[in-house]
Structures are given as C-alpha cells and as structure tokens.
A and B are shown apart, each in its own frame.
Chain A
Amino acid sequence: AQTVTQSQPEMSVQEAETVTLSCTYDTSENNYYLFWYKQPPSRQMILVIRQEAYKQQNATENRFSVNFQKAAKSFSLKISDSQLGDTAMYFCALRWGAQKLVFGQGTRLTINP
C-alpha cells in the first residue's frame, strides 16, 4: 500500500522567515511522482511543486523548493521569504503510474505579520 505521512499538523512563522514542512511516504513502486499542493481558505487546491522520483535534482519553483531523499522516502518543502499569502493547508501527495493521488493529512501553515 502507498502511504503519505505529514507529522506536523500546524506550523506558524513570521513573515519573511523560512519554513520547512515535512513529509514521508512509503511505496514499493520504482517510478512515482511526489507533489505539494496548497489549499488556501478558498479551498481551491493549487499545485505548488512536483518531483519525479527518477530525477535526483531537487525541484524548485521560485521561493519553493524540495529536499527529496529517495532512500529515506522523505520529501520536505521549503518556503523561503514567506509571505502572508502563503498561509494555507499544505498537502503532500504521491502518485504512481497513471493512478490516483494519495494525500497526507496536511499541515496548516500560518504566516504572521
């Protein structure tokens, strides 16, 4: 079975600080994809970043980057220079083949002014 675990239910940082959200996963597949999605108060799911498991290089998207440790099955998200608009629920997700996404429990991130 494929599982995704986010061990931090809530986090809070000051604006402009850097924050790292943790995610671990378990899969027996060799080819899979990892994602971080953001769900702001509007509840619209927004793709933040994706990582192909076969790529060793960590994905980056502007202020967002990941630390992908394949052997440890760890996929953390780093948000640099955090902004008030980053306040949201963040979900880590795993997908293998052409199949469905499995989501973690989510981390509620609050950016304080």
Chain B
Amino acid sequence: GAVVSQHPSWVICKSGTSVKIECRSLDFQATTMFWYRQFPKQSLMLMATSNEGSKATYEQGVEKDKFLINHASLTLSTLTVTSAHPEDSSFYICSARPGLATSSTDTQYFGPGTRLTVL
C-alpha cells in the first residue's frame, strides 16, 4: 500500500512552454501533498504544500505564478511550470500524506519523481 505515482517520469520541452506534472496517490486519499525540487547531488527543497480544495502554500522564494499547483481531488495534485526556462530544469518530486490534514502522525510517501529538461 501507500503508492504515489508521478507522470510523466521525464519531459523535455522548449523554453517558453508550460509543462504539467501529475502526482497521484493510488491506494489512499491524501488531503495534503507536497512538491519538492532536487538539484543534482543536493537535498530536497520544499516548494509548496498543496491542500485539497484550497490554495497551495508556497515556500519563501518560490514564485507561485510560475509554479502553479492545483489539488482538485483527494488523489491528484498537479504542478504546472509556466513559461519554463533552462534554469527550471530539475528533478521534481511529490509526496502525499494520508489521513486528516490535522493529523501529525502520518508518514509522507514519495512519488518516483519527474525529470524536467528545458532546452
């Protein structure tokens, strides 16, 4: 159990285009999902917290107009990188936490990640 999928696993796009990445919890409902960015040989940096049915909460320094997050259902969150540029090239990872939004005991489960390359 507790499987999280991401689609696509990798994507190459041209500068100026938009790219959508999907994160799905396959066997549980996730009121909260998280989006991370990971540069090569570095740690995961949280970009935003996505709560079902409400606006995402972005970390300091993350442009919310550039990284659009939608969490329309309890099993799906999407990250759209708008007007992508080469510096947006990175590995994007989502995670999902089962249970109530107020629960403090549930573990986060991670998706396999999406490698984005912007030419």
Contacts and interface: CB of A to CB of B under 8 A. Distances in A.
B110 interface: yes
B91 to A, nearest CB: 7
A105 B91 contact: no
Given A91-B43, A98-B103, A43 B95 contact: no
Interface stretch (A44-52, A56-64, A65-73, A78-86): A44-52
Interface residues of A, number: 23
Point out which of B43, B107, B108, B109 has the most chain A C-beta atoms below 10 A from its C-beta.
B43
A16 interface: no
A42 B101 CA distance: 30
Given A100-B34, A100-B49, A106-B43, A44 B103 contact: no
Contacts, number: 48
B108 A101 contact: yes
A46 B3 CA distance: 11
A97 interface: yes
A109 to B, nearest CB: 14
Contact of A98 (B38, B93, B102, B107): B102
Interface of A: 31, 33, 35, 37, 42-47, 50, 91, 95-98, 100-106
